[in-house]
Every structure is written in structure tokens, then in C-alpha cells.
Amino acid sequence: MTTVVTLADFNRRERVVAQHEYLLQTAHDTGEEPPRHGVVILGPERFAVDGVEIIAHLSDRQPHLAAARNLAGDWATGSESGQSRANETIIFLDADCVPGSDLLRRYRQALEQEPSAVVTGPITYLQEADSQLEQIRAGAQNPSWLGQLRQPHPARPEIEGTQMRKATEQEYDVFWSLTFALTSATWRRIRRSWGGFEETFRGYGGEDTDFGWQMREHSVPLFWVGGADAFHMWHPVSSPPWEHLHDIVDNANRFYAKWGKWPMKDWLDAFERDGAVRLNANAGEYVVLGRK
């Protein structure tokens, strides 16, 4: 059995609808069993999507992403209900992502080959012109159309065809929670070993890198999986992300206190160049001065 989990606020409801349509169609096209699909709702507004189960509703205005992912993983394994699900394939898929035509099958195959690993596939960031919801949903009847837009993000290794490769020690730095999969047994091991996504990280930034480093620290294998493509729909972003200034600084300080190294350094440097933050080297922390 495969379970797909995602996190979304009300503004992403239609993207969850599209994701669900692609999951059903790609399962049908590749002969996979239709996956169970659940969503953790973020923010004050509740919503529903036909065929998608509500895992939990975290109604705080500031999203607690780490806690939401832990809830999603526990729900997928049955830990929340006390009904343990053995040999479950759990796929975490960001609400802005739709699966490529072979994502379900390739993740299942990869975990059959490496059941104790965390596996992750390529991510293509779609352009705005290719991310119109009407176009995306119309394409759900033939998900292979996304292949012509495939352009995996260059920060992560590109694996040809249906090959797999074990990540190097350094490559754990580019673990992203946008798309990854693991067995229910591995998720339970992770929760026992270090608790999953670190819930002291609040708001935006740092929790993915911390999770990747914890995997490396606890010798959880990470594999890059060819063919398990996900396509991330465009949305407005700022660089650096000024709207998350305080979250990024708080989480960076927390990460440094834990690991002795700075995450998100490009963003911190950009904030510092603009006079918004200052590094207090003696205290080992960044201080927010305010945006000029």
C-alpha cells in the first residue's frame, strides 16, 4: 500500500485537487494501486478535497511545518490511531507539486530494492506560463505531457533513466522535503532515533537541512532515484525571502547552536549586506536590525 501525504493551507486547495487527480491517473496508467492521500491543513481556514483524507488541522496562523510533517508521517504509519501499518510506502509530496507519470512506481521499486533508505527523485520547477491551474488540471488525463517540461533543479544530482545512486556525505545537504519516500518501518525508526522533523524550528527554514543531517548522523541511507520526477508549480517568491526574515534568523541561530555550522548562508549574507542583520560572532548568533 502506498500513502501520499501533503501539507496545505486554504489557498492551495486547488493544487491539492490537481495533485490528487495526477496521483489517481498515474496509478491507473502504470498499474499501481491508487494511493491513500492525506493532507495536514495549515492555517485558520479548513477545507476539503474529494478523495483526500484530513490528517489534522493546525489552525495557527504561523505554520508549524516540522510538526505538520511529523503528524503526516505518523498518520501514514498508523501510529496516531494505534493501527500499525507494515510495509507501507510513504511519499511526502509538497502541495505545489504534481507527480510525474512514473513517480509512484519508481518510489515503490526503489524501496523494494533499498527498504531501509530514504529515497528522493528529481524536481522540476515549472515556469509561470506552465503553471496555470486550468492547464495543469487539463493535463491530468495524460500526465506524460509534463515530460516535455522536465528540467531537474541543478542543485541536486540528476540520475539517468531508472537508475539509483546512493548519496555522498555532502549530498545530504540538499535533502528537500518537497518529494521523498520511505517505508513505514523507516519512518518509525526515524521517530525513535531522533524524533523526525525538529519541532523547535518554527515558521520557515532550516528543518529540511536538519533532517538531512540527522539522517547522515544516524546512518540512514539516502538514494537519488531516476524516473521519480515531481513538478513544482510556480508561485511568487522573493530572494532573499524578506517575508521570512525573522523565522530564518531564529532557525539559523537554532541550527548553529545544534550543529556548529550556519544553514541558509546565502540568505543570511544577503540580509547582512542590506543591513538587516548582524552576526554577533562572540555569541554565535545573528541579530535582526530591521530592514532598511
Instruction: Using alpha carbons, select from 172, 157, 167 the residue that is nearest to residue 214.
Output: 172
Q: Which three cell numbers stand for residue 79?
A: 501510529
Residue 173 is predicted with a pLDDT of: 96
Instruction: Using alpha carbons, select from 211, 141, 202, 204 the residue that is nearest to residue 176.
Output: 211
Return averaged pLDDT per consecutive 10 residues of the chain, 292 residues in all: 97 98 97 97 97 96 90 90 73 98 97 97 96 95 96 93 96 97 97 97 92 98 98 93 94 97 96 95 92 65
CB atoms within 10 A of CB 45: 12
**CA neighbours closer than 13 Å in the CB half-sphere of residue 79:** 17
pTM for the complete prediction? 0.95
* Rounded Cα–Cα distance for residues 191 and 180 (Å): 16
